[in-house]
Amino acid sequence: FMWFGTMDGLNKYDGYGFTVYKHDFQNPHSLSDNSIQALFEDEAGVLWIGTRGGLNSFDRRSEKFTRYVHDPNNPHSLSHNTINAICETRQDSIATLWVGTTGGLHRFEAARKRFLRYQHDPNDAASLSDNAVRALHVSRCADSTVLWVGTLSGLDKLVLNPQPPQARFIHFKDDSPNSQRASNNRILSIVEEASGALWLGTFGGGLKRFDPRTQQFEHYRHNPKDPASLRHNVVRPLAFSRRDSAATLWIGTSGGLEQFDMLQRRFVHHQHDEKKPGSLSNNDVWSVHEDRSGTLWIGTYGGGLNKFSPARRKFAHMRHDAIDPHSLGHNMVMTLLEARNGDKRTLWVGTGGGGLYEFDAGRERFIAYRHDPANPNSLSNDGVAALCQDHSGALWIGTAIGLNRLAADKKRFRHYLHDPDDPNTLSGDGISAIVETPHAGKSFLWIGTGSAGLNRLDPQTGRVQRYQHDPNDPQSLSHNRIFALHVEPGSGDSRTLWIGTDFGLNRLTLNEAAFSMEGAAARFTRYQHDPNNTTSLSSNRVFSFCNDPDSNSGMLWIGTWGGGLNRFDRERGAFTCFTEKDGLPNDVIYGILCDADGKLWLSTNNGLSKFDPVTRSFRNYDVDDGLQSNEFNQGAYCKSRTGEMFFGGINGFNRFYPEQVRDNPYAPPIALTAFEKFDKLMPLESAVSEAEEIKLSYRDNFFSFVFAALDYSNPAKNQYAYKLEGFDEDWIYCGTRRYASYTNLDGGEYLFRVKGSNHDGVWNETGVAIRIIVTPPFWKTWWFLTLFALVVGTLVYSGYRRKLNARLEKARIVNELKAAHDMQMGLMPTSAPNLAGFDIAGICQPAEAVGGDFFDYFLLDAQKNKFGVVLVDVSDKAMKGAMTAVLTSGVISAEIEHSHAPAALMQNLNRVMYSKTPANAFIAMLFGMIDLPTKTLRFANAGLTRPLLRRGQEITYLNTEGKHYPLGILQNVQYEEMSLPLQSGDVLVFYTDGLPEAMNEKEELFDYSRLERTLRALPLHMPAAQIILALLQEVQRFVGTATHHDDLTIVVVRVA
């Protein structure tokens, strides 16, 4: 756990919530004071808390505090109650706790529960230099242990090994010419670098580096004339980063947080900025801590707690900054290009309304090129969608109004525009893509437009040849809206131009015919989606291209809108598609880039994805990883000569080197954080995180655990799996859900296990475990079973007499089961109700000859304006389940005469069923009432699956507030109800758990996601009975030859 000391108590954090421990004057085992100055965990795992009211140790198992306070009558008590620093030393395998207070230094003798004091004596030069001890640090050398003590009068050194008869302190004061003020020797913090040098934070003297070998101080102070200097001279916390081998020192000052590069001796400032929501909350930094996963925690005075997770920021983000005039001027990034600029490389950024930007990497600033109506040599339009650099180094810019060529002096743009009277000009002004190809000693530009087809430009003559869709020519361009162009490497006539359009993929072989001044002579080969051919292109809207990492594979990768990623096998002419079902975050692929390891990076409408073509696996990233947004833009991607990748979207662009994008390797500890019975938090003899065993009675038939993976980088993305050994056959992977519930366990011993991962999917497979002992009812104890066995044994001898009656008894049972089956089927309607404006159908399929499910319809008033529907799932099956179902049906029929309100009806039914059913039996039930004139649904739910509402293509789970216990478990339950206005075309699906929990031979569940997909795929106007039939067919197709283990009941209500 993370522990935070505040001015108002001690806080324990599990990544999701805080548990607060405070002083309670009535509880001697509570915290001694709420103002916390220091926290320390010793080698034994004991947490020590230093407050302004004494020292405390915390027993995590009992969650009790032991207090140590100043006693004026006890010289072996603390000399002062204000605790400023705590540390631990080890000598000869004995650990010793040291406590720094405002009244001196103390060594704690744990065995005798007493403190030895070390205080300043003006008559002893070897005594402590000042009683106000603010910092402690232990240095361990081969032959000695050194305790460094920071006081308000300088730095003291105490050599502990071998322990001298009398402690003698060696004093170090900064007496350099610029350090005469007392504030320069007020030491507030001490840390040690790998070389053994100490870094000191002072109260007013800035940051100091002290070399114990030379005994020299090195100073870092605030210089108002130097913006790169330390921001403030009051330096409190210091902490070395573990992420970069201590190459970074974090420094908390009264002027913000400083990030000090140890190699370059350079400060990076982090300060509060009201205009930046993600900035530091307050500049007065009092504490800094980096946890084991690399997350940095910053405590401030007046600004609360701040968290910075470098592991989440895998991608650099460049965007518009309102207070930086040299930042990117517009966040809608439409195209990116790295261009040659002499011996250098320059990044160009085209935006959707903000013009063109050149990034000056040396000065880290953007240079803008905008349209100026008063300057005919400016950019023709600020909507820039395409960029290309030709072989001569000229930059070509495609805008919403024409093509532009930027001169070498970067001052003049030459415009190429559509002229309706000149067929040798561009076919349209909206430029979407540009590429260059050589031919016959010359170079040509191929220019795609947003609505006017393809163009070929001869830069030398300025003449344009147009290629457009001809509905009468199947070898013409398939569509005039072009999204992407891609030139496949080759030589001579073997080069190929690939064109992505709004209606398919086109291939143009760049032979003489393609370069003919007769556009009709060019022959395009089309590849389009064929719903009857699984190896055809998955979508006709083609957005992006990328050559296969293996140049000899003959494969081309293609990104589509709605059809995911396609791999095209040129030899076979076949496409293989990868979609969300295969792990893609989204089926819209805007851009594709290949890295040095052969992985493909894909920008989508839902984040960035890394695809491994060999393993066919995806690793997906989103805004929590530092992306500009989850939504990227088509055409906005490029790779630099050094391998750096750029992807643009609606909020700027990201840049990164793929090899530097690493998952957080930290496998987090797993902790149990709560234990509940019947949804109520239950106190245990020890904290649940420390408990090894929980004992339960068979009456505790509904309990749950809450757990947490203690990685704080992004807790919302931590994943979990749990398993109750002795009950669950395999691990239950529950995603980000962090609780598990169980009901009606048989008596015996179980082992509850939980494992979890961090936000990057790195799992702690060991996890945590706790033993569960359930004491059985007396009739399941060994002595009762033994007695029962003896009784049975005495009766066995007469068993042969009953053999003659066995066949008759079997026939009788079969007849009884048939009668029970007929009885159960008789509970349900024989036909669907005929109600104006509604189409209603229902079905019940028992898993055995007799089941526990049923449904029924009711007209609730004489005017037939109110219609009721009920679904029931009884916990038992076979004859017992059928009889309980008959009882339930009768009670419902009786109670419905008295109350039509769903919640009230449910409460009445629950009280009746509680008294009439055994303790281990319960009834899940849903009752819905539809007001037919107003088309309003009201319903209450007692433990049944949540009904589904399909409204157009949107699927919604309907849920009521409050408790959802099944009927018969608790005597008094307050049920809530939900009211929902229905619309024409709405489809309501009520169902029992036999539908989502149908299992195939691989023991996979049909599950809710497959139910949603099946329902969403059905035609909007399909009748209710056909919807049920379609659902049953899909379930049967999924289950195959596996046995149904649960009854399945479905009622569909469709609003006309």
**pLDDT surpasses 60 at 817:** no
DSSP-assigned beta bridge partners for residue 486: 498
In a domain, 760, yes or no: yes
Choice among 505-514, 616-625, 877-886 with the minimum mean pLDDT: 877-886
Residue 292 structural domain: 173-308
DSSP-assigned beta bridge partners for residue 88: 97
* 833 and 947 assigned to the same domain: yes
String of DSSP letters for 531-591:
TT-TTS-S-S-EEEEEE-SSTTS-EEEEEEBSS-EEEEETTTTEEEEE-GGGT-S-SBEEE
In a domain, 774, yes or no: yes
Q: Which of 223-237, 599-613, 685-699, 747-761 has the highest mean pLDDT?
A: 599-613
- Quote the pLDDT of residue 1046: 85
* 863 and 763 assigned to the same domain: no
The residue out of 615, 649, 683 marking a domain boundary is 649
Q: Between 371 and 228, name the one with better pLDDT.
A: 371
pTM, two decimals, is: 0.65
In a domain, 546, yes or no: yes
The rounded distance, in Å, linking the Cα atoms of 130 and 185 is: 11
- Give the H or E element holding residue 87: strand 83-91
* 800 and 841 assigned to the same domain: no
* 798 and 878 assigned to the same domain: no
**pLDDT surpasses 90 at 449:** yes
pLDDT single digits (tens) 864-922: 899 999 999 998 766 677 778 888 888 998 899 888 899 999 999 999 999 888 888 88
Residue 992: pLDDT band by 50, 70, 90 thresholds? Answer: very high
List C-alpha distances in Å: 938 to 205, 481, 752, 822: 70, 50, 39, 31
% of the chain beyond a pLDDT of 90: 72
* 797 and 709 assigned to the same domain: no
**pLDDT surpasses 90 at 73:** yes
- Quote the pLDDT of residue 701: 81
Residues 6 or more apart in contact with residue 954 via CB below 8 angstroms = none
CATH of the domain at 717: 2.60.40.10
- Quote the pLDDT of residue 260: 93
In a domain, 259, yes or no: yes
- Count of structural domains, the chain: 5
% of the chain beyond a pLDDT of 70: 93
* 584 and 700 assigned to the same domain: no
CATH of the domain at 184: 2.130.10.10
The residue out of 279, 308, 337 marking a domain boundary is 308
The residue out of 276, 308, 340 marking a domain boundary is 308
* 854 and 927 assigned to the same domain: yes
* 1001 and 910 assigned to the same domain: yes
- Quote the pLDDT of residue 513: 72
Give me the helix-helix angle, 902-916 and 878-895, nearest 10°. Answer: 130
The rounded distance, in Å, linking the Cα atoms of 315 and 666 is: 19
In a domain, 571, yes or no: yes
In a domain, 202, yes or no: yes
* 1005 and 879 assigned to the same domain: yes
**pLDDT surpasses 60 at 632:** yes
* 864 and 841 assigned to the same domain: yes
CATH of the domain at 977: 3.60.40.10
**pLDDT surpasses 70 at 613:** yes
Q: How many CB atoms lie within 10 A of CB 574?
A: 13
pLDDT single digits (tens) 181-190: 556 799 999 9
Q: Between 420 and 875, name the one with better pLDDT.
A: 420
How confident is the prediction for the chain on average, in pLDDT?
A: 91
* 186 and 213 assigned to the same domain: yes
Q: Between 654 and 692, name the one with better pLDDT.
A: 654
Residue 823: pLDDT band by 50, 70, 90 thresholds? Answer: low
In a domain, 472, yes or no: no
pLDDT single digits (tens) 769-802: 999 999 888 776 667 767 777 877 777 656 556 6
**pLDDT surpasses 60 at 849:** no
Question: Which pairs with CB-CB distance under 8 Å and at least 24 residues apart come from 470-475?
Answer: 470/520, 473/520, 474/526, 475/523, 475/524, 475/525, 475/526
In a domain, 902, yes or no: yes
- Quote the pLDDT of residue 400: 97
* 802 and 869 assigned to the same domain: no
**pLDDT surpasses 50 at 180:** no
